[in-house]
Structure 1
Amino acid sequence: MSSLFSKLGLKKSEAAEVPVDGKDDRYETSSIESAEKQTGVQKVEAIALTWSKTSLWVAYAGILLMATSTSLESQTTYLYSSYALSGFGFHSLLSTVSIVTGVMYAVVKPPMGKIADVFGRFEAFVLAILFFVIGYIMLASSNSVETYAGAQVFYAAGATGLIILQQVFVADTTDLLNRALFSSIPDLPFLWTVWAGPEVGAAVLKGSTWRWGYGMWAIILPACSLPLLGALFMNTLKAKKKGLLPPSKVKEYGIVKFLGKTFWDLDVIGLLLFTAALCLLLIPLTLGAGAVGKWKNPSLIAMMVVGGVCLIIFPFFEMNKKLAPSPLLSLRLLKNRTVLAGTLIAVFYFMAFYQSVFPYFYSYLVVANDQSVVSAGRIVLTFSFTSTVSSIIISFFIKWSGHYKYFVCTGGLIYILGFGLMLRYRVEGSTRTQIVINQVLVGLGGGFLNVPAQLGVQSVVPHQDVAAATALFLTAISVGQAIGSAISGAIWTNNLLPKLNQYLPEDVKANATLIYSDFTHASSYPIGSDARNAINRSYQETMRLLLIGALVSAVPIVFLTFFMENVDLKAREQQNTKGRIFGSSSSDADERIAQEESHVVEKRQSDAGLKA
């Protein structure tokens, strides 16, 4: 860690150059009006004034430890889903579960960002960890696909909460010039867990069951989160002792009025509309495809109609200041072309990814390419390793050049090229090396796209809107995941079973539904047999359709990259952040922090006097 960032110092924002109202001419190009700072933002800025170099490094060490836990967890548990659902007899519902997870990833990010803004970063981290633990306890004890899917809701809420909160914490404690580099810290563990994950997953499956594979993370993650939570908690106490924290809203409003205000601050109605729109539109795509007469089912038709209505109502509700005084998604941010282009890139990026790599690539490798559990796992995770390495390297180039747009444009072209080669080489009979090279190329494009695009979205908003902009970008990723999963599920469900019925030998056709529902049964037929050849052909033709969909989804990315503003990060590096942050100089940090601290204390005393 220290070698990675040895040339980086610590510095404090130049608050003296920023007017008291929080507006800054450096952000006039964003066409975004900054809202009044919420309690959570005021708290994190107060805590930032109490950071020491040591405590800030401890917090980042905690981020890395927590990320190592969640990274290894994600590298192992995705292996278990195929076995768990096959055990329930519902392997084909992998995409449906992925949609549920993706929808939760989408709908939880904005409220988790708002919780961090309304209550504070520490409180939001604790809530996310609690959801994570509940989710894994439920997954480990599930006895039906319904319980398993319900557990994914809690797991996704916790996991995605940690993702966004880590990025918000990075945005709170870095300047723009170094943010891409520090944003890569949560991804660093992929460099080693990508190889250890399949081994750990295979060892768990061999020595125990997928249930313990899920349940052990309910113990490991809370233990790994202690350094970060401890650092945040101790500095919160420091800020309170110095009188820097904003007054308690419960005491100010009273419990009843506070709960009412929190209801509107968290935009609960907007959250319900957004959740209903995504769930009721996307889930029927996988449930209704592939079965004769299913689309005549009035329940599925009703789900899509209600989902469509909710989707239409949602933006109008969010843009109405009376109905949504504190909207779930800050859609006003989309008035800026960089934010709009960046969020659309995130949508199409993950739409393509979830048609080509998840959720069926692992099953395809085991069945059609006869790969072992460990080998298939490593091939799938090659993307994560490559994208992590490339994003770290690109972060150094961004710091050196002060620009991110060049890398986003290059990434879009590489991403498209990777999918084109997938169509050529992800076929039955291709060597493992050919398949891995395709994964490396797509991962390289992903590394060029993801972190720089997120930085671009963050770079055109003031500090008050950083959490909202980050939530918007990460929500777009999850929407892309959900849409991609829905498309892949529809393609898989609508094609694999009919092809099996068409190609299987007559004496095996009675098992077509079982082969379709359980990939472990599909891989049990001997290589070279007529049945296995028919299964492999069905898998291959279905995979080709998925890859065509992925390529089509990735094409808009190339055009969208050109609409992002070529921001000079060196000119905007401060972004109104307060307190001690990671940057390029620390020579005058202590003196400036003292000035900021004095200003905050005076403001708190003045506000208290006015209320008295």
Structure 2
Amino acid sequence: MSNEATTRNHLDDRYNTQLGVRKVIAAQYAFSSSSITLLSVGIFLASFIFAFDQGTNSYMTNAAFNEIGHSRAQLAVLAASSIINATGKPFFGKLLNVVGRPESLSITMLCMSIGYFISAASPTIIGLSVGRCLWQLGNSGFQIALQVVIADVTNLRYRGLFSAIAGSGWQFILFYFAGKIVNKALSPHGVGWRGVFCIEAIFFVPAILPIILILFRAQNKANKDGQINVRETKVPLQEKCYNFCSDIDIVGLYFLLGWLVYIFLPIVLTGQSSMEWDGSTLPLMVIVGVTVIFPSFIYWESHNAVHPILPLRFLLNRTIISTCIINLCDFISFSLSFNTLTQFIYVATDYNDASALYLTSTQNLCLSFFAIAFGLLVSIYQMKWKTPVVIALLVRMLG
């Protein structure tokens, strides 16, 4: 083993760096220029199928719920999947650091594919809901994993540009073709929503698998060169499970999930069931979420968690807190508006599927354009973020 690797491993032991982070640090030394090129191509190909899925999923889901005959239950299922989306990102963010990048990407790929297969094969609302939630778990994990992999292979100056291109660049092409595909698939002689779900479930594997294989190859090469310090001490299975739960902060994730459930489910369930705001159940859920679960989450993260998903130093950083609040408000507004808008257009208008999809896709198209434009400006002029964020928030409120 080289002196450099020995020194690096010593630092890993000193700071108790998690295994997934040690793997990616060592893999960066094993990347060649051709590996970086192939990885970049793989990222853009994976982002294509991901963008296509995002562009067609909402209308295929609407068609599925309407065909099965439980359109009123759709908002409740979408609320549950939105909560899974919110908690899945910190879970996979921790998992990326604990087990590694390619391992986590493999889990996201399986979740999305299996979720779509379950949805396509299910004749009942229960199976469709389970498949939708499983797909959403993999979807949220893939979003964060793709951004982390991009961050691993780019510097800070160009990271925003590459992230915007990979995440949004395909929208300009798919904006037109997705509507045509949806219209054709849902026509009387089309494959239907079940066929589209099956096709996308199959396409996820060849789209994501190249990234996984490239990352595994780099990790194996680094491991053979002795650059990954894997602690070989044998521990009982019970201790391994405890250490894993501690590494991913399972208690913190539980509190976060509970807080989101107690805050957002009452909002969505109002009018969807026999429960109303003039009763006691829904207001009590919100009160418990705000006054009990959220303070418990903050206390656990700041005092008890060994590897917190929200470290205390983040809670004391005004920049990070303000960014989190902005993203939280954005998540709430998007989740409450986009899902209901899609269902409203689908039910209350006489648009065909293509025209309705074009209308609901205008927001994503604008987001894609300005994300790439701002990423380009930052990479060229190295702009500070505060002024553009304030201007963007004012424009959004005006809209």
Give the alignment's TM-score, normalised by structure 1.
Answer: 0.59
Q: Does 2:381 correspond to 1:401?
A: yes
1:340 is aligned to 321
Whether the aligned pair in 1 keeps the contact of 2:84 and 2:137 (CA below 8 Å) is yes
1:238 is aligned to 221
Report the Cα distance in structure 1 between the residues aligned to 2:336 and 2:53, rounded to whole angstroms: 22
2:307 is aligned to 326
Structure 1 residues 222, 348: CA separation in 2 closer, same or farther (over 3 Å shift)? same
| 2:243 counterpart (261, 285, 310) | 261
Report the Cα distance in structure 2 between the residues aligned to 1:116 and 1:248, rounded to whole angstroms: 18
Task: Compare the two structures and name the one with the higher helix fraction.
Answer: 2
Whether the aligned pair in 2 keeps the contact of 1:77 and 1:213 (CA below 8 Å) is no
Report the Cα distance in structure 2 between the residues aligned to 1:125 and 1:293, rounded to whole angstroms: 40
Shift of 1:298: 7.1
1:365 is aligned to 345
Report the Cα distance in structure 1 between the residues aligned to 2:204 and 2:312, rounded to whole angstroms: 34
Structure 1 spans left out of the alignment, 5+ residues? 1-17, 23-33, 419-612
Report the Cα distance in structure 1 between the residues aligned to 2:148 and 2:119, rounded to whole angstroms: 28
Over 4 Å off, 4+ runs: 290-308, 366-369
Report the Cα distance in structure 1 between the residues aligned to 2:322 and 2:283, rounded to whole angstroms: 33
Shift of 1:277: 2.3
Alpha-carbon deviations, 1:442-495, whole Å to 9, x = none?
Answer: xxxxxxxxxxxxxxxxxxxxxxxxxxxxxxxxxxxxxxxxxxxxxxxxxxxxxx
Structure 2 spans left out of the alignment, 5+ residues? 1-7
| 2:205 counterpart (213, 217, 222) | 222
SS in 1 for 2:226: coil
Whether the aligned pair in 1 keeps the contact of 2:21 and 2:97 (CA below 8 Å) is yes
The letter for the 1-side match of 2:251 is I
Q: Does 2:143 correspond to 1:163?
A: yes
The letter for the 1-side match of 2:364 is S
| 1:285 counterpart (264, 267, 282) | 267
Report the Cα distance in structure 2 between the residues aligned to 1:299 and 1:364, rounded to whole angstroms: 27
2:5 is aligned to none
Shift of 1:100: 0.9
2:115 is aligned to 135
Aligned pair count?
386
1:524 is aligned to none
| 1:276 counterpart (253, 258, 266) | 258
Whether the aligned pair in 1 keeps the contact of 2:58 and 2:342 (CA below 8 Å) is no
Shift of 1:409: 2.5
Whether the aligned pair in 1 keeps the contact of 2:102 and 2:213 (CA below 8 Å) is no
The letter for the 1-side match of 2:389 is V
Shift of 1:89: 3.2
Structure 1 residues 367, 208: CA separation in 2 closer, same or farther (over 3 Å shift)? same
Whether the aligned pair in 2 keeps the contact of 1:113 and 1:164 (CA below 8 Å) is yes
Shift of 1:303: 5.2
1:375 is aligned to 355
1:79 is aligned to 59
| 1:178 counterpart (154, 158, 169) | 158
SS in 2 for 1:407: helix
1:119 is aligned to 99
Report the Cα distance in structure 2 between the residues aligned to 1:416 and 1:77, rounded to whole angstroms: 27
1:417 is aligned to 398
Whether the aligned pair in 2 keeps the contact of 1:63 and 1:186 (CA below 8 Å) is no
The letter for the 2-side match of 1:197 is A
Structure 1 residues 279, 46: CA separation in 2 closer, same or farther (over 3 Å shift)? same
Report the Cα distance in structure 1 between the residues aligned to 2:183 and 2:353, rounded to whole angstroms: 7
Alpha-carbon deviations, 1:546-577, whole Å to 9, x = none?
Answer: xxxxxxxxxxxxxxxxxxxxxxxxxxxxxxxx
Alpha-carbon deviations, 1:196-254, whole Å to 9, x = none?
Answer: 112112221121221222222221101111221121111112101111112145x4545
Matches within 5 A, 1:382-397: 382-397=362-377
1:153 is aligned to 133
| 1:351 counterpart (321, 327, 332) | 332
Kindly name which structure, 1 or 2, has the bigger radius of gyration based on alpha carbons.
Answer: 1
Report the Cα distance in structure 1 between the residues aligned to 2:122 and 2:279, rounded to whole angstroms: 28
Whether the aligned pair in 2 keeps the contact of 1:42 and 1:246 (CA below 8 Å) is yes
Structure 1 residues 273, 209: CA separation in 2 closer, same or farther (over 3 Å shift)? same
Whether the aligned pair in 1 keeps the contact of 2:23 and 2:100 (CA below 8 Å) is yes
Question: Considering only aligned residues, what root-mean-square deviation do their CA atoms show, in Å?
Answer: 2.6
1:92 is aligned to 72
Report the Cα distance in structure 1 between the residues aligned to 2:283 and 2:348, rounded to whole angstroms: 35
Shift of 1:296: 7.1
Report the Cα distance in structure 2 between the residues aligned to 1:202 and 1:253, rounded to whole angstroms: 56
Whether the aligned pair in 2 keeps the contact of 1:100 and 1:152 (CA below 8 Å) is no
1:204 is aligned to 185
2:85 is aligned to 105
Identity of aligned residues (%): 25
1:191 is aligned to 172
The letter for the 1-side match of 2:168 is D
The letter for the 2-side match of 1:225 is I
Report the Cα distance in structure 2 between the residues aligned to 1:293 and 1:37, rounded to whole angstroms: 48
2:299 is aligned to 316
Structure 1 residues 307, 147: CA separation in 2 closer, same or farther (over 3 Å shift)? farther
Structure 1 residues 173, 261: CA separation in 2 closer, same or farther (over 3 Å shift)? same
Whether the aligned pair in 2 keeps the contact of 1:110 and 1:329 (CA below 8 Å) is no
